[in-house]
Structure 1
């Protein structure tokens, strides 16, 4: 786990708040949320969406992406939709201010851009870019560093022309390589399931997998509907009445079974965006679909909310939760904007103000979009995405609008309520564990355990044509500590339980296979031990989490023992000669009394008698 602490804009170093510490008064939980502020111009983002789209461009919105593209621990931005087709690429300077890198990005003009995906298709440690287009070739760009990309579409088996809309990413077959689902808005050309072959190429296996839908697909999302650790596929289809309704396929270890009808997912409507998340707190994904405001059957003008159940079909919950939203709506996203530990809902509406439904913990939710400054005017608003752009501990909101600029709506909740953020890394050197999940239990100011929060690592979906920052964000309200976090890797992968993490911090949770391997070279060797010795024991600090073998939020004797059980050389073999001998003794004596030396075998802070005893005890080994 790698942790980074951020302060408000401009960034300042913030202290780590250890488990059990008390940061915010309990009254903070009862505070009304602070309104958002519109700051796109002040933060360097000037990207105007076209009104009356150019020839051959879609009439139903353009996508965007929020992610750490350049690996410097802050969030960068990608936008589609300018009249000239220029793809907007903006680099975060670390202070939440953005530098326009569009002209030199290497991304081609995309006049009919639709969905965006930012994912590490080649597993080289950085995020690559997929730009879907309705009337032009869909293209894949490899990240070559410095916010620059190289077009690899032809060699990768993409570059085809089809009316592609929404995009989502998952490792559906559990082979460790991220795959793609592309929605195709056509009754003649099926949706595409592009399996990553691991050699830089993809093959379309939609027909063989049984998911080659001929619905008018707008957006898909991969989510573990049945909680078996395999990503299931949900697709939102337009014009479901008379065509193909919405669909849900259960993933049975890499093969798919259509469970749309028995689960009740096959709602027929003019379905567009999908919000996906655990709204009611039962550790299962719920789905919210956007719709047209037709008051007549069969559409009934509502946005259906499908609440998952452990057994049996979905329960319709839009009326109970107050989110029917009788408006023409497109994008929708579940997010905890007020850091109070439950998910809220933002909805993009066309010709009417957007809606922000705040979750009080129990239904119904109330639309507070106007008072929060996020409703906008009655314009063409299609897509939105969320992420902590300024690193202050809350989720900000980015919205695209026809006929106006992209808007950056900055959240002011980070200093008012507690939070914690997790990036779940994949196995080995895989950057992100796409499809992993985490269950967090927080501790209140009186020591009481709070209700669990469950989140999934989603790349695409929980929005429309866009990608949110895939980092897992947990609002904690007035909770003062984390009791436990259970992380599950996808496809029947590993499970880790972590406790006592500092709150108000960002952490990266590493797969068990990475533990001890500080430098990420695939082995636990002398350089890793040298780093361990330099850091020493004590409370967990940023960048040291791969040494916390027992996951207790501190580096201790148990972690030292676990390190040596995994190490590729014997304890005391300081020169890695294959045995503990005079050469190692000479190194130790030469380091006698020094601090932070790799000869400090007991990690007591200096090289001394205890280390000599360990070395002599291992002599000849």
Structure 2
């Protein structure tokens, strides 16, 4: 059943007030930043013209995003750690990542929920040896300045027993159990190399490809992603693939998927390479984008605008984004701080005209169309681009780009968007207090609300593109506004954290509260139980409720300044002491003559002197029904 916890009125979601058609501006900072390197494939092997990629993330947890780059086999991989001053240093050897191997793509996620970002790399094996199966790497971050390859022990080193294969990968919590599952694509036809691995929660995985209903011999997979496209919290699996073989799988919510039939328009002709997810037209629904080869009108990239209930309008030609050359990696970003998502895309192939085809920057015009602005914005790149990612490496509030080229130079483009374009808000997510939520908030939907009624939606998917992954952060361009009046965070379990007002021009880390379990609906005249998990044994827990609804609530001095996630008036519902397992349970009886309504509930654990260390759960909305 579709759960619309973010009710949205068409027309309310639009760009915030900002200078008309704010100009984007990028500059090449590759050499000054210290990340100059050239992708080189192993000369002992047949060259693979389709590979080059990397991943961004804070691998050493110092607050600054770092950069992992696949070398290609002819040069080692790099781990560029951010110095916090606009420069990087390569620490790959010290961290155990310098082995020469024929790597193709990568992704980064905290697969074991220990708070440290790990790296998954698809690989064809050690340099100087024939291509082999079973050579993918899962680099577990040990939290001490080192990685260990645990792929074989985890069961994710091999995706086929046929021809060596493996390209893009993506992380997502498809079963909503709080740990991240993995999908890996394979391109070789009839090779069975597209695989779904379910996380067992003990640093091992189980191949559930067939059991989950996503096995395909015909799919020539390149770029997968998980995203909740219908609002029921369970993420769909979208796999962009070559030769018209892309797949869209609807999550059934029971551990299985159903392939969408008929396919979204254009799937059958798409020579799909890369994927991106986001709300491009500001209607509150997630759209998606697939890159392809542009041979002329009717070919090229495709963009699917979400109409609801898994119905899509493919309209790339009218939107002006179909011509991306021989497209590979796309990235959605707000390049000019106007609140609307733009599209950056890299491309290239060995044959003319694609051998010197410029990378693209499609700037959102706010009317359903985009203007190609790469040259005027300074995004000058006509190398053999393959992977691409965005991250805010200098933490100045706008999104920078990295392009990975096949057997060519990496390029770092700093976003030099002038402050006069407007303000921004950067948000990262902390789910460490809630064992039922995936690490770094993957699967979370965020909504920024402004006093004018304008809204922006962002979704924390795994940020995969083509063989690359962007930083696990979201940024709102807030234009001339000085604050976001309300910031709604809908976690992957449907619970809510609501903040506001939130000042612009800051990097905000939003932490989930403790787990709160409550039924979605309760019938009149019955008893339901509300449970808070994660308290200390014997701790007193109070439960509160509001008939008004969720929102940025009152902050209580008696609770150390803790703020409710629901609106006044807030009433006491009851209290309970936590049992030895840390669970506080409160039975609540609904009167038989209760009106049909929605009630917001939240748990509070008072702690510390004068409540200074008090903690809360997220808020939940419960429907009272006949």
**TM-score, with length taken from structure 1:** 0.76
Contact 1:67 1:470 in 2 (8 A): yes
Q: Deviations over 1:500-528 (max 9, x none)?
A: 1122112222223179xxxxx9546999x
Contact 1:442 1:482 in 2 (8 A): yes
Where in structure 2 are the equivalents of 1:400-549 lying within 5 Å?
A: 400-413=404-417, 415-416=419-420, 417-426=422-431, 428=434, 431-443=439-451, 448-450=452-454, 452-461=455-464, 463-490=465-492, 492-513=493-514, 522-523=534-535, 548-549=562-563
What is aligned with 1:371?
376
Relative to structure 1, the CA distance from residue 306 to residue 53 in structure 2 (aligned partners, 3 Å threshold; closer, same or farther) is farther
For 2:407 and 2:76, the matched residues in 1 are separated by 16
For 1:304 and 1:437, the matched residues in 2 are separated by 24
Relative contact order (alpha carbons < 8 A, sep ≥ 6): 1 or 2 greater?
1
What is aligned with 1:252?
252
For 2:511 and 2:447, the matched residues in 1 are separated by 15
SS of 2:167's partner is strand
Where in structure 2 are the equivalents of 1:111-190 lying within 5 Å?
A: 111-134=101-124, 135-136=131-132, 137-160=135-158, 162-190=164-192
Contact 1:482 1:502 in 2 (8 A): yes
What is aligned with 1:578?
none
Deviation at 1:81, TM superposition (A): 2.8
Give the CA RMSD over aligned residues.
3.4
What is aligned with 2:66?
76
SS of 1:420's partner is strand
What is aligned with 2:564?
550
Where in structure 2 are the equivalents of 1:214-233 lying within 5 Å?
A: 214=217, 215-233=219-237
For 1:248 and 1:601, the matched residues in 2 are separated by 49
Contact 2:429 2:441 in 1 (8 A): yes
User: Which structure's CA Rg is the greater one?
Assistant: 1
For 1:128 and 1:182, the matched residues in 2 are separated by 16
What is aligned with 2:87?
97
Q: Deviations over 1:190-225 (max 9, x none)?
A: 210011101111111001111012211011111111
For 1:601 and 1:494, the matched residues in 2 are separated by 24
For 2:442 and 2:499, the matched residues in 1 are separated by 19
Runs of 5+ consecutive residues of structure 1 not aligned to the other structure: 1-25, 516-520, 528-537, 570-596, 604-621
1:398 maps onto 2:402 in alignment = yes
1:235 maps onto 2:255 in alignment = no
For 1:526 and 1:74, the matched residues in 2 are separated by 39
The structure 2 residue matched to 1:307, chosen from 298, 305, 308, is 305
Q: Deviations over 1:356-387 (max 9, x none)?
A: 011121132111101111131x3211111001
Question: How many residues were matched structurally?
Answer: 515
Relative to structure 1, the CA distance from residue 316 to residue 402 in structure 2 (aligned partners, 3 Å threshold; closer, same or farther) is same
SS of 1:257's partner is strand
The structure 2 residue matched to 1:196, chosen from 186, 199, 224, is 199
Relative to structure 1, the CA distance from residue 600 to residue 41 in structure 2 (aligned partners, 3 Å threshold; closer, same or farther) is same
SS of 2:92's partner is coil
For 1:255 and 1:449, the matched residues in 2 are separated by 38
For 1:99 and 1:326, the matched residues in 2 are separated by 33
Contact 2:165 2:186 in 1 (8 A): yes
What is aligned with 1:3?
none
What is aligned with 2:337?
339
For 1:539 and 1:147, the matched residues in 2 are separated by 42
Runs of 5+ consecutive residues of structure 2 not aligned to the other structure: 1-15, 125-130, 349-354, 517-532, 540-552, 580-606, 614-626
For 2:335 and 2:577, the matched residues in 1 are separated by 43
Relative to structure 1, the CA distance from residue 73 to residue 266 in structure 2 (aligned partners, 3 Å threshold; closer, same or farther) is same
Relative to structure 1, the CA distance from residue 248 to residue 260 in structure 2 (aligned partners, 3 Å threshold; closer, same or farther) is farther
- 346-355 or 303-312: bigger deviation: 303-312
What is aligned with 2:603?
none
Relative to structure 1, the CA distance from residue 68 to residue 539 in structure 2 (aligned partners, 3 Å threshold; closer, same or farther) is farther
What is aligned with 2:56?
66
For 2:256 and 2:214, the matched residues in 1 are separated by 10
For 1:89 and 1:270, the matched residues in 2 are separated by 32
For 2:251 and 2:315, the matched residues in 1 are separated by 25
1:360 maps onto 2:365 in alignment = yes
Contact 1:192 1:204 in 2 (8 A): yes
What is aligned with 1:277?
278
Pick the structure with more helix per residue.
1
Relative to structure 1, the CA distance from residue 460 to residue 138 in structure 2 (aligned partners, 3 Å threshold; closer, same or farther) is farther
For 2:469 and 2:169, the matched residues in 1 are separated by 9
Contact 1:423 1:508 in 2 (8 A): yes
Pick the structure with more strand per residue.
2
The structure 1 residue matched to 2:35, chosen from 30, 35, 45, is 45
For 2:101 and 2:50, the matched residues in 1 are separated by 13
For 1:260 and 1:147, the matched residues in 2 are separated by 47
Relative to structure 1, the CA distance from residue 102 to residue 567 in structure 2 (aligned partners, 3 Å threshold; closer, same or farther) is farther
